[in-house]
Amino acid sequence: MSSSMALRDLQRDLESKANDLAKIQKDIAKDHQLRKKYTIQLGENELVLKELDLLEEEANVYKLIGPVLVKQDLAEANANVRKRIEYISAELKRVDASIHDNEGQQNSKREAMMKLQQRLQSIQAGKAKA
Amino acid sequence: MASSSSSSSARGELEKMGIDQLKALKEQADLEVNLLQDSLNNIRTANARLESAAGALNDLSLRPQGKKMLVPLTASLYVPGTLDEADKVLVDIGTGYFIEKTMEDGKDYCQRKINLLKSNYEQLFEVLAKKKSVADEAGMVLQSKVRQLQAATTS
């Protein structure tokens, strides 16, 4: 009697842990997408910075804002691109840390689930013998 | 010598794996191979666009100033115009920035980008070749295992 209740509790616990694990995995997948996006943006901005550095002082720089090409100062363009690169690098680091944390949580959840499954199996094996 | 011994040790690893694991590994490797193929295709397309841009630049530099030309306003509407200064070009460097360059620098820019893409393509191709060989090996080992299993169960 009590053992079947313990069985049900264990199964419910396993289910809830499985749901948690699925949620963590979805978060990890979303973080990976984000990481990809940031890496691409970082690469593009670094290319732009390189090109801007190759320019001479008086060369004309234009920025596309909507449908308008606006003349920009070379120094200002440099500063803007550098700031964007800083921001994207910081975001990338944040996403990496989040992925690291989530992966740690994922592993510990998996271990907990495995232990639960083992207990479940041993109880069921015990009941089958009885 | 070294490469054959490393591939045979990899094969030994593959042989040790169970059929399910092997199947999962092969599927994973196939997925990665497809992704790499797509990336390679993208690079090839981008390279083609850059080459046509470089060609257009070259052509433009040959035209004299004041030459009559048709300027596209939309995909189906062209208006007549005359070529002004062909010495300055606007280059799109990404993230919405455009820089004014001389014709020479513009051609140089195109060439630089083409070279960059070519080296990326070659690096990616090498990675693809390695992944493909892993996928093929896994497939062969999987097939032989399945055959072994069938022979064992039918005999």
- Chain B touched by A68 (CB under 8 Å): no
CA–CA separation, B17 and B22 (whole Å): 6
Rounded to 10 degrees, the C-alpha dihedral B60/B64/B69/B72 comes to 30
- Kindly report each contact of residues B115-120 with a partner whose C-beta sits within 8 Å and lies 24 or more positions away, as own/partner: B117/B43, B117/B46, B117/B47, B117/B50, B118/B47, B120/B43
Summarised one tens digit per residue, pLDDT across range A108-120 is 999 999 998 888 8
Cross-chain residue pair A61–B94, CB shorter than 8 Å = no
Instruction: Answer whether A102 touches B (CB < 8 Å).
Output: no
All structural domains of chain A, each given as residue ranges with its CATH number in brackets, are: 2-46+75-129 (1.10.287)
> Which of A45, A46, A62 to mutate: most B Cβ within 10 Å?
A62
The one-digit pLDDT tens for each residue of chain B (155 residues) are 444 445 566 677 777 777 888 888 889 899 999 999 999 999 999 999 999 999 998 888 888 888 898 999 999 999 999 988 878 888 998 889 999 888 888 899 999 999 999 999 999 999 999 999 988 988 888 888 888 888 888 86
Note whether A62 contacts B97, CB cutoff 8 Å: yes
